[in-house]
A and B are shown apart, each in its own frame.
Chain A
Amino acid sequence: MKLLFMVLAAAVCLMIVLPASAGLPGDASGNDHLEKQELVSMILSALKDSTTLQDARDAAYVYSNWNGSPKKIIDSSGKERVIWRPFHRIVVMNSETLETMRSIGYDTSTVVGVDKYTLKATAFFPEFKNTPGIGSIWAPDYEKIVSLQPDAVFVYAEISRSSCDEIEENLAKTSPGVTVLRFDCYLPESYPGEIGILGDLLDCQEGGREFLEFYTSNIDTVTSRVAAVPENERIKVYFETWNDYKTCAAGSGYDQKIRMAGGSNIFGNEAGEYPELDPEAVLASSPEAVIKLVGSMKYTFGGYNGGEEEIFRQTHDALVSRKGWKSLPAVRDNRTYLIHTDILGGPHFFVGVQYMARWFYPDRFSDLDPVCVHAEYLTRFQGLPASIVEDEIFVYPRLRR
């Protein structure tokens, strides 16, 4: 199978113009630095021969924006990536990075290919509705990727490491001119750093700084107040994914987010990132708050793609009326909540963290308004209307404002 892909990709490669190989445009001396004289001769030849115009423009960009040197960044996979010229055609295979590009103000008109999840998220990514799809990280359409002639392909760093490694290897073999860049853009521990690196990489330093400031101030509001809660007084939380009785444990993004919001994840020390639990273990653990994740599998409703409140209510009712659950402290005190993965799984998980913080510690966070933060994120950074946060349902029960 893999071999077939490679043969196909190689065939496509031969049919199309081979992407420019590594090296700075116009760097005649080959010293990996573009001198003024080299740029001059690029421009003068471009005036007579328009086929070299793109190279000359790239050279001008490198000269004026990067001081004539290639850009070097270290992406989230820990590898140093050398960028020899600005990107004109990029393929983004992880929607989280695409969302972050929007956040830092990058002009996403250079995006020529997206993954199938981006295409499905028509409400959140309306501008990519007609962008060619390249499959997904787990089932990449190499032929399509190569035929789009990208100069950069964005994949995950930590998520599905082996699939992404394979994509990187295959592209390195078939299209050596393509720079593979790896970012996750959803893990609390690495996200702030990734914002800065993406800003540098895409020359959106100013936008990156602005967004990072927004992001950190929203996170700090929560973490600084949570820090005042002693470890042994933290609320005991049972978190359940969209698979019943499947929870999250150390190493998963959700576990980090629960702890960020001041929750003590009851099953945080179990083996594996998403262990499936014995139902009686949940009963015996007496959680003080229950968070149920919705937005996928049989709980596919709500979030940006819309959904009725009725089905949230039904899901919530089914959750609290599980056998024996009425005696759980969380159910007794009405502290069972549904949260949509749109605001907890992706780059704007800080909205979900704020909701959880309010649920966990209503007194300490009574002034916190996650709805408002969410709206600001959409309007200021995503170019989406604020009305979405009122029209669609992201948590249940909905927050009384």
Chain B
Amino acid sequence: MESMKRGHLAAEVACILILILLAQASAASVYERAIIPQGDSTYRVSLQFPEGTISGITETISSGMTCKEISLPPEQYRIEGTTLFLAIIEEREVSYLVTGKPGMTAEITGTYQDMITGEKGNLPGARISSSGSVEIIDAAVNNSLPGNDARSQHAPLEPVLFVVALCATGLLYSLRRRSR
């Protein structure tokens, strides 16, 4: 009886933890970022948005970098030094080019303010190493997911988490029933 109770508790804790993870992961995945090296220390940074997004984006790039070719009409963005302000009105994707100096390390971070839901938070960040390789840093989970290639920046973590959470819930449910 005692052991069963303990097992019960463990399952509950696990379940809650997983649910929290799941919630965080999904919160972080509202918008997505990709970064593709273009050569000559130039990279194309792109952000993807769900349908009907109306949002304000603030991107900050490391000093020493410049950005250009923003895929928005000129009135929809503003550049102030290394900070880029974007107004997203139902666009699905926005991209721009950043250029640094060869061999430098750089970081791109961003925040968003969703004007419809009122949500605000961090966008996935990007890091450029001195060797020129890039990685995407998940904003909310706050542990970088290593990607040898920028295209695989998002491991299919969520479905896995979801399945685990479902299993845990099922387990919890059956434990509850048995203990009654």
Contact = CB atoms under 8 A, between A and B. Distances in A.
Contacts of B13: none
B115 A57 contact: yes
A202 interface: no
Contact of A37 (B54, B58, B75): B75
Interface in B99-129: 113, 115-116, 118
Interface string B27-54: 0000000000000000000000000101
A39 B89 contact: yes
Interface of B: 52, 54-58, 75-78, 85, 87-90, 113, 115-116, 118
A47 B76 CA distance: 12
A44 B75 CA distance: 10
A48 B79 CA distance: 12
Interface in A5-52: 36-37, 39-41, 43-44, 46-48
Contact of A43 (B52, B87, B90, B118): B87
Nearest to A46: B56
A25 to B, nearest CB: 11
Contacts of B85: 44, 47-48
Contact of B89 (A40, A47, A53, A61): A40
A73 to B, nearest CB: 22
Sort A-B residue pairs by CB-CB distance and give the 6 closest, nearest first. A60-B115, A43-B87, A60-B54, A40-B87, A43-B56, A47-B56
Contacts of B113: 46-47, 53
Main secondary structure of the interface of A (DSSP, over half): helix
Interface residues of A, number: 18
A60 B90 CA distance: 10
Nearest to A64: B54
Contact of B87 (A39, A53, A61): A39
Contact of B115 (A37, A41, A43): A43
B50 to A, nearest CB: 13
A56 interface: yes
Contacts of B116: 57, 60-61, 64
Contacts of B78: 44
Contacts of A41: 75, 87
23 contacts: A37-B75, A39-B87, A40-B76, A40-B89, A41-B75, A43-B54, A43-B56, A43-B87, A43-B89, A44-B56, A44-B87, A47-B56, A47-B57, A47-B85, A56-B115, A57-B118, A59-B115, A60-B54, A63-B54, A63-B89, A64-B52, A64-B54, A64-B116
Contacts of B89: 36, 39-40, 43, 63
Contacts of A43: 54-56, 87-89, 115
Nearest to A39: B89
Contacts of B77: 44
B128 to A, nearest CB: 24
Interface in A157-214: none
Nearest to B52: A64
A56 B55 CA distance: 10
Contacts of B76: 40, 44
A66 to B, nearest CB: 13
Contacts of A44: 56, 76-78, 85, 87
A329 B42 CA distance: 96
A40 B56 CA distance: 9
A53 B114 CA distance: 10
B52 A47 contact: no
Contacts of B118: 57
Contact of A40 (B52, B57, B58, B75): B75
B54 to A, nearest CB: 4
